[in-house]
């Protein structure tokens, strides 16, 4: 509807009158000291920001800005801009925070107010620290500290704390150690009561909080000097965690800091003391705080999206109202005739009533939607907490078994008992590997399609591998493992992704073992049909376990949900059947089951494979070299270096040298002649891609094979670009590893991927 200009101006005038009345009725951040001066309530604003009442703070600040501009209160306007900047920084909108701090600084500059300049510069330093914009931080920090020192302001130490964070984020440990040491002495020697406060109230426990923060960064800086030296952890353990926690504000960074604090204690017991029980205690504490931080980040992102929309919408409305006010100010006197004003007020009243009741209805609808959404989020959060609790138990159990069995093997002299312990150790290790891979696989399959890498192989060989993998776990529960495979031509192969297909059968087999207390499990392979060069096979995994009720069929293959009807009967992450169903989609197949409660279950599916007699694409062991082949292994993990070195030395005609640093690897390749390099991808100083690129600059022909636990299409692309000849994914079978390594004795110019044999 298009209103006449006269009516529009009347409505605007009435809006301005109502806004003025409303403004006087609202609670501002300004308090009137006398008839001519106002005092800005910094403590109230800081309390709102600390409690995350950001929208309320923004409304009050915008009203205070409008009031300050109207009454020419420049200092209050500048303080309001600083406050808005703090709100936007809290929401991680650092660009907007920077903009408002600069607005505040310009006003203080025009007033020649050094305390105000000090406050605005400190806000910019905090913004650049949180945004990790180190170039801007370094350009403004000296100027800010010079001013704070001249004013004898407490902000000098607050800026110094931000400098510690900047050095910590940028891994400048020497500077971190020096500044935290000197700063701690300066804080302890300073009487904070004698400092010139930059705000109109004394912050509570500022000195104690700063001391805790400086001790925290100083302790970490000492640890980073040498993580294997127990003496470097003394300052870390001297910090009381409860006091440290009390000194932090309740936000995401506090949870992250507490996670880091406990992680370095974990490193102490791992690298310095070799006490795995204590190490496990602190890594669990660290993970708990990490989970809190992740939860807070998720809640913050949800909250920030709503807040940013509300705040930007409110600002746009204010700017539009200002433009209309300026445009119609010149002609407003013409429309002051009493009859027109009366008519206008009547129209406004009617419009207000209409929009008021309409808005009231909309608010009710929104509130109902928010209530439903909140209930759904609470339910999701409950499910996640339950899953992480289950997952924590599932991870701790095999870890405890591995640790305990390793100790028993070390203490046992009887060869038979030692072999029994070793078998159980392998079973626990296999289960842990499968559990971790299931977790990673569940996340990866959710966001990308599984691309099958088909190679000729025999179904009997794959099924036997699966049986060997799960036999120990079945034997430990007293279960028999039966297998039936229909006869076929000995030379007949199928095109299959051995890793993906093995994972399907292993998950089904472990699932059967997990929910069977006595009896047996059976794996059957039946030939259903042949058509030219295609064969359709039916696979069955049977057990004599607890069975599944028909009412639970819809959620059996849903990730996490299937725990709802099984958690009283057994443990498990709830991911195995979900991954099986997802992987079968890549095979153009689906899975189903028949079950009788308390008697057992049979899961079955059918897959059509391409037949292949040729084995040209299979890895063939190369002829052993006529001379000694010298291999360089680059890995920052000492255990990985030891395992790889032993595997290389088990191959006849091969010797090995190890190095744990990427830069040193480049130097030694320049100095010595190597026939091959086995390269780790994920290293701290230079990753495997960068090291390979440097080596390719002066040695383009040497075979470089990546040994990594990473496995994705992105890894393959980056490896190819860097000049890596081949990727071997850990863990692997030794025979496949040997075949890959020896094949480069004669043909180094190829690029392939060998996947993990242990799922």
Once rounded to an integer, what is the mean pLDDT over residues 282-297? 78
Statement: residue 234 has pLDDT above 70: yes
Residue-level pLDDT at 61? 85
Peptide linkage before 731 cis (omega within 30 of 0): yes
Q: Whats the size of the chain, residue-wise?
A: 759
Once rounded to an integer, what is the mean pLDDT over residues 464-486? 89
**Which residues are paired to 601 by β-bridges?**
543, 595
Statement: residue 426 has pLDDT above 60: yes
Answer whether 0.75 is exceeded by the pTM: no
Statement: residue 268 has pLDDT above 90: no
Residue-level pLDDT at 610? 92
How many CA within 13 A on the CB side of residue 477?
21
Quickly state the pLDDT bin for 3 (edges 50, 70, 90): very low
Residue-level pLDDT at 527? 92
Quickly state the pLDDT bin for 472 (edges 50, 70, 90): confident
Q: What percent of the chain has pLDDT over 90?
A: 28
Quickly state the pLDDT bin for 624 (edges 50, 70, 90): very low
Quickly state the pLDDT bin for 437 (edges 50, 70, 90): low
Residue-level pLDDT at 100? 92
Q: Which of 645, 634, 643, 642 has its CA nearest to residue 691?
A: 634
Statement: residue 750 has pLDDT above 70: no
Statement: residue 255 has pLDDT above 60: yes
pLDDT per position as a tens digit, 527-570: 999 998 999 999 999 999 999 888 888 888 876 555 544 444 44
Once rounded to an integer, what is the mean pLDDT over residues 586-615? 89
What's the per-residue H, E or C state across 559-616? CCHHHHHCCCCCCCCCCHHHHHHHHHHHCCCCEEEEEECCCEEEEEEEEEEEEECCCC
Domain spans of the chain?
454-612, 629-754
Residue-level pLDDT at 404? 65
Rounded to whole angstroms, the Cα distance separating 334 from 339 reads 12
Residue-level pLDDT at 36? 57
Statement: residue 713 has pLDDT above 70: no
The SS3 of residue 634 is strand
pLDDT per position as a tens digit, 303-322: 555 555 555 555 555 555 55
Which CATH number, 3.90.180.10, 3.30.70.100, 3.30.565.10, 3.40.50.150, labels domain 454-612? 3.30.565.10
Greater pLDDT, 102 or 499? 102
Statement: residue 292 has pLDDT above 80: no
Statement: residue 68 has pLDDT above 90: no
Rounded to whole angstroms, the Cα distance separating 482 from 662 reads 49
Residue-level pLDDT at 285? 81
Extract the tokens encoding 223: 């640890």
Once rounded to an integer, what is the mean pLDDT over residues 710-729? 81
Helix axes 276-328, 54-70, angle to 10 degrees: 30
Quickly state the pLDDT bin for 427 (edges 50, 70, 90): low
Statement: residue 99 has pLDDT above 90: yes
Which CATH number, 3.50.50.60, 3.40.50.20, 3.40.50.300, 3.40.50.2300, labels domain 629-754? 3.40.50.2300
Residue-level pLDDT at 385? 57
Statement: residue 571 has pLDDT above 60: no
pLDDT per position as a tens digit, 156-213: 999 999 999 999 989 999 999 999 999 999 999 998 888 888 877 777 788 888 998 8
Quickly state the pLDDT bin for 21 (edges 50, 70, 90): very low
Greater pLDDT, 154 or 297? 154
Instruction: For 190-240, give the DSSP string.
Output: --GGGSB-SSSS--TTHHHHHHHHHHHHHHHHHHHH-TT-GGGGHHHHHS-
Rounded to whole angstroms, the Cα distance separating 299 from 696 reads 46
Residue-level pLDDT at 675? 93
Residue 595 main-chain phi, psi, to 5 deg: -150, 145
Contacts of 176 (CB under 8 A, 6+ apart): 164, 167, 168, 217, 220, 221, 224
Rounded to whole angstroms, the Cα distance separating 164 from 180 reads 7
Greater pLDDT, 432 or 257? 257
Mean pLDDT of the chain: 79
Quickly state the pLDDT bin for 1 (edges 50, 70, 90): very low
Q: What percent of the chain has pLDDT over 70?
A: 76
pLDDT per position as a tens digit, 138-166: 999 999 999 999 999 989 999 999 999 99
Give the sign of the dihedral formed by CA 133, CA 134, CA 135, CA 140: positive
Once rounded to an integer, what is the mean pLDDT over residues 29-44? 70
Residue-level pLDDT at 310? 58
């Amino acid at each position: 509807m298009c209103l006449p200009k006269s009516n529009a101006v009347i409505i605007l005038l009435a809006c301005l009158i109502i806004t003025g009345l409303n403004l006087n009725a609202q609670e501002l951040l300004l308090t009137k000291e006398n008839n001519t001066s106002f005092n800005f309530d910094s403590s109230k604003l800081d309390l709102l920001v600390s409690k995350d009442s950001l929208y309320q703070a923004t409304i009050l600040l915008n009203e205070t800005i409008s009031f300050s501009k109207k009454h020419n209160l420049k200092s209050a306007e500048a303080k309001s801009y600083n406050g808005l900047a703090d709100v936007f920084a809290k929401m991680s909108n650092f660009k907007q925070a920077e903009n408002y701090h600069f607005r505040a600084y310009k006003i203080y500059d025009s007033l020649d107010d050094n305390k105000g300049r000090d406050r605005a510069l400190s806000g910019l330093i905090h913004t650049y620290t949180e945004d990790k914009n180190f170039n801007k931080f370094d350009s403004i920090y000296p100027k800010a500290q010079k001013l704070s020192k001249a004013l004898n302001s407490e902000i000098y130490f607050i800026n110094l704390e931000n400098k510690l964070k900047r050095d910590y984020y940028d891994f400048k440990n020497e500077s971190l150690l020096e500044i935290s040491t000197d700063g701690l002495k300066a804080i302890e020697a300073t009487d904070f009561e004698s400092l010139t406060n930059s705000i109109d109230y004394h912050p509570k426990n500022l000195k104690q909080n700063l001391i805790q923060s400086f001790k925290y960064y100083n302790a970490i800086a000492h640890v980073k000097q040498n993580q294997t030296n127990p003496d470097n952890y003394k300052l870390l353990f001297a910090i009381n965690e409860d006091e440290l926690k009390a000194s932090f504000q309740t936000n995401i960074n506090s949870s992250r800091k507490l996670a880091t604090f406990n992680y370095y204690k974990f490193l102490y017991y791992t690298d310095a003391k070799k006490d795995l029980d204590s190490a496990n205690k602190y890594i669990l504490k660290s993970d708990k705080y990490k989970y809190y931080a992740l939860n807070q980040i998720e809640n913050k992102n949800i909250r920030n999206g709503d807040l940013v929309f509300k705040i930007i919408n409110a600002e746009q409305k204010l700017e539009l109202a200002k433009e209309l006010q300026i445009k119609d100010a010149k002609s407003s006197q013409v429309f002051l005739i009493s009859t027109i004003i009366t008519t206008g007020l009547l129209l406004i009243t009617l419009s207000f009533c209409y929009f008021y009741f309409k808005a009231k209805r909309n608010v009710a609808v929104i509130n109902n939607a928010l209530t439903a959404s909140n209930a759904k989020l609470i339910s999701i959060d409950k499910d996640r907490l339950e899953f992480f609790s289950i997952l924590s138990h599932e991870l701790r159990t095999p870890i405890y078994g591995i640790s305990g069995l390793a100790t028993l093997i070390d203490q046992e002299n009887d060869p038979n008992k030692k072999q029994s312990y070793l078998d159980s150790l392998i079973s626990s290790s296999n289960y842990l590997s499968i559990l971790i891979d299931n977790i990673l696989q569940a996340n990866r399959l959710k966001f990308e399609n599984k691309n099958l890498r088909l190679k000729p192989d025999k179904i009997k060989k794959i099924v036997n591998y699966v049986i060997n993998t799960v036999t120990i776990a079945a034997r430990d529960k007293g279960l028999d493992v039966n297998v039936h495979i229909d006869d076929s031509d000995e030379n007949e192969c199928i095109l299959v992704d051995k890793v993906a297909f093995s994972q399907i059968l292993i998950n089904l087999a472990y699932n059967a073992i997990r929910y069977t207390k006595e009896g047996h499990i059976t794996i059957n392979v039946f030939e259903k049909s042949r058509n030219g060069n295609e064969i359709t096979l039916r696979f069955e995994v049977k057990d004599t376990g607890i069975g599944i009720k028909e009412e639970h069929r819809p959620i059996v293959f849903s990730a996490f949900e299937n725990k709802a009807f099984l958690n009283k009967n057994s443990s498990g992450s709830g991911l195995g059947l979900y991954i099986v169903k997802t992987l079968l989609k890549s095979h153009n197949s689906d899975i189903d089951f028949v079950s009788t409660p308390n008697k057992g279950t049979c899961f079955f599916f059918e897959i059509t494979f391409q037949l292949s007699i040729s084995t040209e694409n299979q890895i063939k062991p190369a002829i052993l070299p006529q001379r000694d082949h010298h291999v360089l292994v680059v890995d920052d993990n000492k255990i990985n270096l030891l395992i790889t070195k032993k595997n290389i030395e088990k191959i006849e005609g091969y010797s090995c040298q190890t190095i744990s640093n990427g830069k040193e690897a480049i130097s030694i390749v320049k100095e010595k002649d190597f026939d091959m390099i086995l390269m780790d991808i994920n290293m701290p100083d230079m990753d495997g891609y960068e090291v390979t690129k440097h080596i390719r600059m002066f040695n383009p022909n040497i075979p470089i094979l990546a040994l990594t636990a990473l496995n994705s299409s992105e890894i393959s692309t980056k490896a190819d670009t860097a000049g890596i000849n081949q990727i071997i994914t850990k863990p692997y079978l030794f025979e496949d590893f040997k075949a890959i390594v020896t094949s480069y004795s004669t043909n180094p110019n190829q690029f392939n991927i060998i996947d993990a044999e242990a799922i």
